[in-house]
Amino acid sequence: MTERLERPLEPVVVGPRTKGLRLRGETAGDGLMIGTATVDDGPFGLPILTLQTGSLDHNVAVMATAVRAAGEAAGAPGSVEHAPHVKTHMSAQIFARQLAAGSWGATVATPNQLRVVRDWGTRRVLLANELTDPDEIIWVRDDLERDEGAELWLYVDSVEGLTMLSRGLAGASDDVRARLGVLVEIGVAEGRTGVRSTADALGLARAVRASGLTLRGVAGYEGSVAGESTPETREQVADYLRGLRDVAEQLVAEGLVSSGDVVVSAGGSAFVDVVLQVLPGPFLPGGPAAGHAPRVVVRSGSYVVHDHGHYQHLDAFSRVPGAEPLRPAATVWGSVVSVPEPGLVLVGLGRRDVPYDLDLPTALWLRPRADDGRTLGAPLELPRATVTDLNDEHLFLRIDPDAPDLAPETAHPHPGDVIGFGISHPCTLFDKWRVGIVVDGDRPLGLVSFDF
């Protein structure tokens, strides 16, 4: 059965304080689309963030198909599920698309994100982090007591953290304890959170079971193993993932899992190909957990938007059997504000509008102003333009005006022309915006909001 949000999506309300829109008062966002033929019309201002609806739907479908196929290929149909990490976008509207494609629930990173997705009406949540604030633990307990259909999984990586959870749930009903699933997080040396050895993982798992809390399985983040994707680093990631499976197998052998199949959760977007290859499938015949298969929960989030930089370079889905390539969905558009010297173009967007933690943006399109000074022409590719720097509100673009293969319009942009940029690393894009414009080509379809 496809999971749905518990309540209808709320209308997106926008107003004068909403970047990308020229409005004098608050209004429901969907009404802005009535009679608006393109993003050049009506209340849309620059800079502006657009999201191609076809690319979003394509990426959601690619992931859903890959997850389903991975379980079937491993001889365990239905054993692989997807809980997309919504920290990427924090958008109820985008998450609704992911749920409609079969996602199990939402992954979040912080208690605040947990409260946001619960307010959306999300009933299944994986908090991919340790919870060590006593007040947050009490909030979780109260939330589970109020909503008998809610389910939350979270991480532990220490006895101290487990003790805090146990104290916060002291006296809670068996039903609440059953719906609060604990995953032992396994990390890597010099990496992020997580226990550092198999022995520590098993010892902590035994302590979880002894505490009366519900042990679901193990989890980890393979992105801590390596940054770049090469044959060597992919094998290192595979070794780490095999370690997760080995611990899960031992949990089954010792009867430590409280109920259902043992969960093994991993999967950012950089090494999802390795995750889908290594984790699914029955445990080996003759082993301590023969006849069992882990329940694999993949947490990839960036895939839904993809990019023109970091993830395009890693290209994980090119190594997923039968998968189509992901498509970048996001473009940030800005107006040329100055051309102060030959080959240097200053665009009116900056660090407040685009990510810059991994790479600078990629110049994609130029839309020149027509002679009337208002109408924008069709997009022209910008093959020889390089972003060299960002200020808070300015982007520095270098173009070789003497390049022989450039059209005059692209070799010599003018103030008032509009340039579209692809981004690198979606997880640091959407916190810079309150809304994005969902488009089909350049035809606006609606708004999505970002609840950071």
What homologous superfamily is domain 13-53+327-449 in, according to CATH?
A: D-serine dehydratase-like domain (2.40.37.20)
pLDDT in the model for residue 44: 93
CA angle 452, 97, 78 (to 5 degrees): 115
Residue matched to tokens 């590719």: 381
The enclosing H or E element of 162 equals helix 159-168
Widest pairwise Cα distance in the chain: 78
pLDDT above 60: residue 424? yes
C-alpha distances (whole Å) from 200 to each of 25, 194, 203 are 58, 10, 5
| Across 416-420, average pLDDT | 97
pLDDT in the model for residue 42: 77
| Across 121-141, average pLDDT | 98
C-alpha distances (whole Å) from 415 to each of 51, 83, 138, 367 are 25, 45, 56, 11
**Percent with pLDDT over 70 in the chain:** 99
pLDDT in the model for residue 2: 65
**What b/e sequence results for 391-415 when a residue is b if at least 16 CB atoms lie within 10 Å of its CB, and e otherwise?**
eeebbbbebeeeeeebeeebbbbee
CA dihedral 250, 253, 255, 258 (to 10 degrees): 50
Tens of pLDDT, residues 297-354 = 999 999 999 999 999 999 899 999 999 999 999 999 999 999 999 999 999 999 999 9
Here the tokens at position 447 are 């708004």
pLDDT above 70: residue 225? yes
Cβ-based burial of 16 (10 A; exposed 0-12, middle 13-18, buried ≥19): exposed
Angle between helices 111-120 and 92-100 (to 10 degrees): 70
Tens of pLDDT, residues 5-55 = 877 888 899 999 999 999 999 998 888 887 777 888 779 999 999 999 999
Q: Tell me the C-alpha distance between 250 and 215, whole Å.
A: 13
Domain boundaries, the chain: 13-53+327-449, 123-298
| Across 169-189, average pLDDT | 97
Residue 103 and residue 84 in contact, taking contact as beta carbons nearer than 8 Å:
yes
Read off the pTM: 0.96
Q: What mean pLDDT, rounded, does the chain reach?
A: 95
SS3 47: coil
Q: Tell me the C-alpha distance between 47 and 12, whole Å.
A: 19
pLDDT in the model for residue 6: 73
The candidate with the shortest Cα–Cα distance to 198, out of 242, 130, 265, 247, is 247
pLDDT in the model for residue 405: 78
Q: Half-sphere exposure of residue 325, counting CA atoms within 13 Å on the CB side?
A: 10
The enclosing H or E element of 14 equals strand 13-14
| Across 250-254, average pLDDT | 97
pLDDT in the model for residue 1: 52
Which CATH number describes the domain made up of 123-298?
Answer: 3.20.20.10
pLDDT in the model for residue 245: 98
Residue 134 and residue 167 in contact, taking contact as beta carbons nearer than 8 Å:
yes
pLDDT above 70: residue 272? yes
| Across 386-404, average pLDDT | 94
Residue 73 and residue 432 in contact, taking contact as beta carbons nearer than 8 Å:
no
